[in-house]
Structure 1
Amino acid sequence: MNDRYRLLGLCLFLLATVGLCVGYASADLWSTPSSADVAGDPAGHDGERAFVFGEVESIDADEGTVAVRVDSATIAVTDVDRAVLSQLEPGGSLQVVGTVQDGGVTLAATNTVVDYRGPGDRLFVYGTSILGGLLAAGAFLRHWRINARRLRFEPRDRGER
């Protein structure tokens, strides 16, 4: 294939990608207040349904509440499912959809998702991702080599392995 056609195809692909990104950025995907909105003006969102990400500070299994740090504010999440409470550890991440109450101090949860149970889970996720990427790169470079002069990959000869 001619290099001009490759360059033209690459430019068209990049232009289409940028167009999709602009369309995605202009769409209103968050019709509810976010974590930053609730933390910035808690009383202004009282009675509204919100979607909040936060770091777990403390857990009260008897009351079914979790204290969550959102930006610079701490919000008490109530009505948390017992199964979710048993999975949480302080330092973990939690996503909550619920109604803001008591001037933004409390969030009555309708749905909760545990992102990371504790700080060790984040290390495991990143570690396995890096290991998988290195294994994939090694398998690829076992069969292909980089030609720096022509800026392309070329298949390795059988004797080069």
Structure 2
Amino acid sequence: MTRLNENTVLNVKNTSFSVTATLTLPDGPPGQGAIVAQGGSFGGWALYLRDGVPTYAHNFVGMETYTVRADESVGPGDHVIGMRFDYDGGGAGRGGAVSFTCDGEPIGTGRVGKTVPGLFSFDEGLDIGLDSLDPVVDDYTTPKGAFTGTIDNVVLDIDPDADHDEDLVIRARYRKQ
């Protein structure tokens, strides 16, 4: 799935949210590339693998990029990667805590200082498995952040602690071509 307009996906701004991705990493070099990316170089966020390490980046309106990396890399095989952003609250554009899991086990935490309070972009969208236009970050190791494995499922949840209807969750699939 690529270039989903901002008004067609869940609004992750000024709130807590989580991403859960079911993926398969091949044997050989460590996994690389975007699992999910929204926005671009003038504002947005991405969950990606850099040398097998789950990484979350939040690009604050092209002025600062906050990057949080897990403490452990993820090896070949089937995995469920989780990333949770716990918004500080108290107004728009605040920061928050980031935590990572792999197969249900915690693998790292960190902080983001501030976040985009309003629109990420008029023309960038949400991508699964790559960062199709102007990338959110400049440290992808593959062109356009193309993911080097297979993404079976991505779940984006804007209220990870709530017991809610499945209609509030985005599910997407990406298969490497």
- TM-score bracket, shorter-length normalisation: under 0.3
TM-score, with normalisation over the residues of structure 2?
0.24
Q: Whose helix proportion is higher, 1 or 2?
A: 1
TM-score by length of 1: 0.26
**Pair member with larger Rg:** 1
Considering fraction of residues, name the structure with more strand. 2
